[in-house]
Structure 1
Amino acid sequence: MSLAVMALALAAASNAPAPAPASPVDGIWHNPKNSVAVKTGACGDKLCGWVVRADDEAQADARDGGTPRLIGTALLREYRPSGRRKWSGQIFVPDMGRTFGSTLTLVDANTIDVKGCLIGGFLCKTQTWHRG
């Protein structure tokens, strides 16, 4: 009898829907200076990224900008897919204490371009981050 129950359980499991695939930008990313590491992942139905490591200088700059605790801070906020290999959301810049419109572009499996813009896509800065 237990063999039949196992067979039924296995059959039911094989018919279960597969979990949704993770975003190709989920993971840990390092900024160009390797002074900050950000872990990206789901936040509800959006993509976000939180600081998981920061060197002393980055933490001091954040404190000077009004962010007392950099580790755990969400830098990447509410990104949604906005094209092939591209997401749009907001980036928080701790040393300025401000949030800007932003895009993430997946360059390859281990590289993303993070772009932040002041107003309507003007005065932009792009950084290339690498997977850690």
Structure 2
Amino acid sequence: MRLTLLSAALLLAMAALPAAAANSQSDDIAGVWQTKTGGYVQVYKDGDSYDGRIVGSSDGKPRYDKKNPDADKRGRRLLGVVILHGLKYQDNGEYDGGHIYDPNSGKTYKAKATMKGPDTLDARGYIGISLLGKTQTWHRIDPKAEHVHQDLLHQPVGAAPQSGN
């Protein structure tokens, strides 16, 4: 009887491992990334998907949302704006089903992303089908890097909440 219970417990534990590993892999996208144009975007988990907020830039100079189709938003600073919404983990480091706002054009596109390594992410914005789009390679940076606005950072995945956030 003990052997049967032990075997059953071991089988249950082994069955849970792939789900735990997949969840761990899905969180690999979380972090602060430098875009091709020098912007810093923090990708963070929001429910069952991932979003991204502008948290700084490599040069530290303020940028404004001049191309926004909403005239009322053209004077707003891009710092703190959520530009990536709803990416969902698929498998093997791939995320899909999101939308990304390009402040350089003022347009919003469908989005997908692929982890190319622990510190390299290919972010793709596209119209209709993925073939009609553009990929940018983003590089992970230290969240404590110069010009990263600490007050805008979401908590890292699994971190205990800090007071004041």
Partner letter of residue 115 of structure 2? Answer: L
TM-score when scaled to structure 2? 0.60
Amino acid at match of 2:46: C
Structure 2 regions of 5+ residues with no counterpart? 1-19, 142-165
1:77 partnered with 2:85:
yes
Structure 1 residue 47, shift from structure 2 partner: 0.6
Please give the root-mean-square deviation of Cα atoms over the aligned residues, in Å. 2.1
Q: CA deviation at 1:50?
A: 0.5
Per the normalisation by structure 1, the TM-score is 0.74
- How many residues align? The count is 110
Q: Which residue of 2 aligns with 1:124?
A: 133
Look up the match of 1:64: 66
1:1-132 equivalent positions in 2, closer than 5 A: 21=24, 23-33=27-37, 35-54=38-57, 55-56=60-61, 59-60=63-64, 63-66=65-68, 67=73, 68-88=76-96, 89-132=98-141
Query: Counterpart of 1:72 in 2: which secondary structure?
Result: coil
1:69-126 Cα offsets, whole Å, 9 max, x none, are: 2111111110101231100111111232221111110000000000111222242101
TM-fit CA distance, 1:43: 1.1
Q: Secondary structure at the match of 2:127?
A: strand
Q: Which runs of 5+ in 1 are unaligned?
A: 1-17
